[in-house]
Each structure stands twice: as structure tokens, then as C-alpha cells.
Chains A and B, each alone.
Chain A
């Protein structure tokens, strides 16, 4: 009645959701706690930056110059909504610092220097009263105001001299064009192109690696739970196919990992978008999407497709490997340890891959490297840039072949007695009394 797969799958989902060991270690700690951490960090950073960017604040002014340019600077700061409180000396100002942003000192000779065309200086005293991200960023905003003032007067001076401020500030300028394969993306900053490339070549493989870690841990745990709760013997004598058993466990582990991992990365993505979008304009976003579409045209649509296919293959490979190893341990704790044996080399492979310049290698060598599991997900973007479509195909297909082999081995092992007779961590042998018990009860 009903499919074996569905029955096992539903049981797995119930067990995962209800088992605090799994729920806390796999879902609550990594997802909720990390989400909370990034959420708080993101909100606080945004607020701190917004606070810092908001003009105005209390500035303690020590004007030792009293000249026309000193008055000009004072007027400028007032126009920028700064409240200036005047003091006669730095010591006096520092004594009355309270909630001020800083003490701004206009030294004697400030106006004379500017009038004579000599660089003038102001002094800023910033009092550190505690370690707070918001207070530090807020305190530093006076530097921005001074720079802006310097730009303004620089422009006025240049115009008075009958020159173009734009010309004087940058007499020689370059426009950059980026070439990818045969495609030229014109008038674009290289950083706008390298951003999406890094995203696909580095960030996405790292996400896959982290997700694979989730999947490996959950699948190893799901097998170990059967042994720990002494259900494996019963389970293996039920009239159900071993393949359904493995498939249901794999699917449940995969879905929960995707939900958990997905939630984690949504929060992570939100955090980064909050941090990176501070001060960014809409036109910047539009420019990025134009660059992205030109980029996709250059590397071809097969590259992101290969990345997704190879990524899922890698997830199933990690999952299968964790299943195989978990079959030879007796409890959840050992399973968690053993899944680390997969996660560590996986992440190391990804990091190593980031430092290998596969693009400069001959196509045959690229194709061989593309067949190495785990590391190949990092290579796909570079293979796309090198135009080696065959190697991209090899990376995508080989990941699934490895996953298929490992999952086949897993279903073979669970179909044999090895799951009972082989042990990776041997328990200390208990002294057993030979003979027999007294046979009454």
C-alpha cells in the first residue's frame, strides 16, 4: 500500500523536523543563528552608514585664524547643517566634548595660505569614547565635509584662473572596454565585469560547497539515526526495496538541506546586498544588468547551465559519499565526525581550484582537470571564458557519473551484511563472560 519511497520519505521528514539533535545542529544553529547574526549585522551596518552619511552634527570650532577663508569654511559647515560651538583653545574644547563629532581647529595663517595659493591645513581632534561601529563612522564624517569643501574651493580657484576644473582634475582620462573571447563589451569598467565573473566562478562554487556540507551531514545522520535508534535491523527485514530506502533518505536530506541552505543564503545575500547597495544608484544597477547580459552572450548560456548541473551532481556526490561512510558507524556523533571527512577535502578542493589558472592551459589539460570531482565546479566559469565547451560538458556530466557510482555503491552496501559487520570506529571490546546466564527469570 502506498509507495515505499513516500512512506520512508514522510517518516524521514517527521524525524528530521522532530529530532532536536538534527534540528538544532543542522537547522537552528547554522540557519537561524547565522541568519540572526547577519540580520543584526546588516541592520546595524545600514543604520550606522545612514547615520554617518546624514549631514550635520555638533562640531566644536577653535578658530585661531579669524580670516576670510576661515569664515568661508564656517559658513560652509553651517550650510551643511553642522552646529558649530566656538571655543578659544583646543583644551577648552576637549573639556566640553560631550556628544560632539569632533574638535575642528582652523590654525593661524589658514586664510593667508589660501589667498597666496599655498595649501592650508585644518586640524581635527576626534575623541574615542568607546568601541562602537556607529559612533566611529559618525565621527569620521567631518573628514568627508572638509574634502567636499576643498573640492568646492578648488573648483572656484581653477575657474578664477580661467581653466576648466574637469580638465585640471584629470587632464588625461581613459575609457575601458572589456574583451571576452570574441565579444567586446564597450565603455565598461573591468570591475563591473569581474564582479559577476567572481560571483559565478567563486561565490556560487562556495555556496555549492557549503550546501554539500549540509547535505553530507544530514544524509550521514539519517543513516546513523537508524542504527542509534536500533531500527536498522527491523527496517532491512521489511518488504521494501533497498533502493527506495536510499532514495527516500537521500531526497529528504536533500530537500531539508536545500531549504536550510537556501534560507541561509537568502539571509547572506540580503546582508551583502544591504552592505554593497549603500550609496549605489539605480543607474549603476541598470548598467550591471547590461554588462551581465553582454557577459552571458560572451561566455555562452551553456556555462551557467553546466555550473548548475555540475553543482547538483556535486551535491549528490557528497551526499552519496556521506551515506557510504555513515553505514559503517553506529551513532549520530560518529556520523557527524565522518561527514567532516568529506566536507574538509571538498572545501579545500574548491579553494585550491580558485588559485589554478585553468584558462591558460591547453584544451586537453583543461578537459582532464574538468573531470576531477568537486574542484571542477570552480573551473566551469574559466572554461566558459576559454571557450572550451567540451570541458564544461565533461565537468557537468562527470559530476553526475561519480554521484551515480557512489549512490549505486551505497545501495549495494545497504543490501549486504557489510552494514552490520564492517565498522570504521571499533568500540573497545567488552569483556564477555563465557558460559550462560542462569536460565530462570
Chain B
């Protein structure tokens, strides 16, 4: 039995155009915790999540999920995770319910379980009767809620959420955060998420990893980080660590 759900050791990723996205990233995620990866644009957050979701292959280093290597055992890895990409979409010409049914069919062991998943997703999404409309008629917020619902309804052992509240207004964002917290606690789902929203990270995450230029430069609980960097909030921690204050000075 592995000690961690996610184990990342000295991970490197170089894209075909020569861009080095990850330069020896290492971190672990414990069972049942919500771990947040934060960092400026281009820090390597999405690349990390894509490698863990078996979409990209690491150039070197090791990444394991429940002990399975993402590079050599991707089929095993996929059985344990549910992934929400930052720029995810859905099939426009399916209805919300048909889309959920499509996703649930890959995870459910029987019809009853499939029905349970769909009912739960319907509730999570809060779409009401609009669930029976074609997805092309949904607003951005409705689509994101549907996608959150499809990610959580399968009760994955690990949910990888890339910017879960991306594009949502304050009310929808708050709702989605509450849903994530409630469902992950209720079903013991481990979550690895990335976000630019420090309020979100502070509210949701048990531990936070700050990533900059492909490396982990700080890690700890939000409280530990605030204490260590003598900051009032995570936003201040972040700017202190990645040098944002200097940038603001230059701009002003």
C-alpha cells in the first residue's frame, strides 16, 4: 500500500519546441487531502496536472498515482482518477443528461450505479430541468457546473481539477467550492487542484504547493505558509515568494 496517493519525484518536461516546462518538480499528496498547486502563468501547473492525468508524458523523473507509474501504467492510473481540464468542453449536441450518461457509462458497474451517478451529478450541477436541454444552449457557468458534476459523480479516488472555478462568477464559484469541499469530505476523495484564486485555495486546500518556473519553491498548509512568510493571506505569501511585489512596484 503506497504512502501517498500522488508521488511526484524530480519531474522534468521538455516540449518538442524545446520549452522546459518542469525542471525537477517534486511533491506528494496524501489520501483524502485537498492539495493546491499555485503559481504564476507558465509556472508548469497545467503541465503537471496533464502528466498526472496521463495526457502528457514526462521527459524524465517519476510520477505515480496509487503506486502506478503514469508513463508505464496509464490504464491503471486512469481507473483511479477523474480529470477536469481548465478549458474543458462537452459535446454540444448532447443534452446535459446524455453527456452525464455517456461519462457514467465508463465508470458504473451496473445500471443502478449509473442512475445513482446521474442523479448525483444532476443535484451537484444545480441545472434543474435545463439538464434535459442541449449543452450548446448552456452558459459558461452552467457548463462548468456540469463538468464539475461529471468529475465528482463517479466518486474517484483522485480528482484532478485544473482551475475548477475558471470563468465562473462569484456566486457560481462559491457554490462550486462548497460542492467540492462537501463531496470530497463525504466520499474521502483526494483532490489535486490548481488555481489562481488565493481565496479559493485558502478555503479549499489542506496543503498548498507553490510552483515557479517548473520547480516547487514552497509547500505547507495555508496557515503554515502565512506564518512562515509573515503574511496576512496567501496572496501576500505568493507575491513575496515569486517576487510579484517588485513587479507591482515597477508597474505603479
Question: A239 contacts which chain B residues (CB < 8 A)?
Answer: 75, 78-79, 106-107
A186 an interface residue at 8 Å Cβ cutoff? no
Question: B247 contacts which chain A residues (CB < 8 A)?
Answer: 435
A441 an interface residue at 8 Å Cβ cutoff? yes
Question: Does B90 contact A237, Cβ atoms closer than 8 Å?
Answer: no
Q: How far is the CB of A434 from chain B (nearest CB, A)?
A: 7
Chain A 188-218 near chain B by CB (<8 Å), digits 1 or 0: 0000000000000000000000000000000
How many chain A residues touch B (CB < 8 A): the figure is 34
Question: Does B75 contact A236, Cβ atoms closer than 8 Å?
Answer: no
A441 to B105, CA, bound (A): 36
Question: Does A4 contact B106, Cβ atoms closer than 8 Å?
Answer: yes
| Stretch from B26-34, B52-60, B120-128, B221-229 that touches the partner | B52-60
Question: Does A7 contact B55, Cβ atoms closer than 8 Å?
Answer: no
Chain B 95-132 near chain A by CB (<8 Å), digits 1 or 0: 00010001101111111011000000000000000000
A432 to B41, CA, bound (A): 10
A327 to B154, CA, bound (A): 29
CB contacts under 8 Å to B, within A228-258, are 229-231, 233-234, 236-241
Chain B 180-199 near chain A by CB (<8 Å), digits 1 or 0: 00000000000000001111
Question: Does A436 contact B40, Cβ atoms closer than 8 Å?
Answer: yes
Question: A432 contacts which chain B residues (CB < 8 A)?
Answer: 41-42
A117 to B50, CA, bound (A): 98
Q: How far is the CB of A349 from chain B (nearest CB, A)?
A: 32
B249 an interface residue at 8 Å Cβ cutoff? no
A440 an interface residue at 8 Å Cβ cutoff? yes
Closest to B143 in A: A230
Question: B102 contacts which chain A residues (CB < 8 A)?
Answer: 7, 11
Closest to B114 in A: A1
A-B contact count (CB 8 A): 113
The A contact surface, by secondary structure, is loop
Question: Does B110 contact A19, Cβ atoms closer than 8 Å?
Answer: no
Closest to A441 in B: B197
B171 an interface residue at 8 Å Cβ cutoff? no
Question: A170 contacts which chain B residues (CB < 8 A)?
Answer: none
A441 to B134, CA, bound (A): 30
A24 an interface residue at 8 Å Cβ cutoff? no
CB contacts under 8 Å to B, within A264-282, are none
Question: Does A237 contact B196, Cβ atoms closer than 8 Å?
Answer: no
Question: Does A439 contact B238, Cβ atoms closer than 8 Å?
Answer: yes
Question: A420 contacts which chain B residues (CB < 8 A)?
Answer: 50, 55-56
Question: Does A240 contact B93, Cβ atoms closer than 8 Å?
Answer: no
Question: Does B55 contact A237, Cβ atoms closer than 8 Å?
Answer: yes
A417 to B71, CA, bound (A): 11
Question: Does A439 contact B83, Cβ atoms closer than 8 Å?
Answer: no
20 extra A-B contacts, CB within 8 A, seeds A417-B55, A420-B55, A435-B40: A1-B108, A11-B91, A14-B98, A18-B93, A19-B93, A229-B89, A230-B85, A233-B50, A233-B55, A237-B83, A238-B78, A416-B57, A420-B50, A420-B56, A422-B16, A436-B40, A436-B244, A439-B197, A440-B199, A440-B235
Kindly list the 6 A-B residue pairs having the minimum CB-CB distance in the complex, ordered from nearest: A230-B89, A436-B40, A18-B93, A237-B83, A233-B85, A7-B105
